[in-house]
Amino acid sequence: MRKINRKKNLVLGLTLLIAGIATLTAVGVARADTTNTAASWVANLATKLNLPQSQVQTAVDQIRSEQEQARQEQQSTRLDQAVTDGVITQEQKDKLVAKMQEEQATRQKNRSEMQTWMSDNGIDASKLREYMGGPHSGQGSRGFGPRPELND
């Protein structure tokens, strides 16, 4: 009975982990602003810190890269444990990781296409943020586009 409960808990935990990773990835994509907005945010931060923009951009890029690497390592460790515990096979883990990477690339491509489309159609995403809502429109967020409070 304990072994069955442990397996159920592991399956549930793995399911929640995958859902959490997908959610965090979606949040990152949904909250990502256009390249111009990100550059403007970095420029604003550089001005406030009295540092060269290139130095701030390098630091931001490094932090993002480190966070992504840590997230991938944590995900891999947890999936390795699922393999060890017999919840999934190594082949299933490899397929799952490949599919998650494919989905992330698709989301990034879709985001880029949407940003281009909006720009081509003269739509300023920063002005739509409060009107678009969506899953991340709660306190501290207004849909998509630049956050006005970061552009002061």
The answer to whether 146 touches 33, Cβ cutoff 8 Å, is yes
Going from the C-alpha of 11 to that of each of 4, 6, 48, the distances in angstroms are: 10, 9, 47
Angle at 105 between CA 102 and CA 109, to 5 degrees: 140
Q: In this structure, how many other beta carbons lie within 10 angstroms of the beta carbon of residue 89?
A: 11
pLDDT confidence of residue 32: 46
pLDDT for res 124 = 86
pLDDT at 8: 65
Is this prediction's pTM over 0.95? no
Which pLDDT tens digit goes with each residue over 71-108?
Answer: 989 999 999 999 999 999 999 999 999 999 999 999 99
* Alpha-helical regions (H) of 1-89: 2-31, 35-49, 53-84
pLDDT of residue 40: 81
**Domain range summary for the chain, segments of one domain joined by +:** 2-138
**Model confidence pLDDT, tens digit, residues 102-150:** 999 999 999 999 989 999 999 988 777 778 765 544 444 434 444 444 4
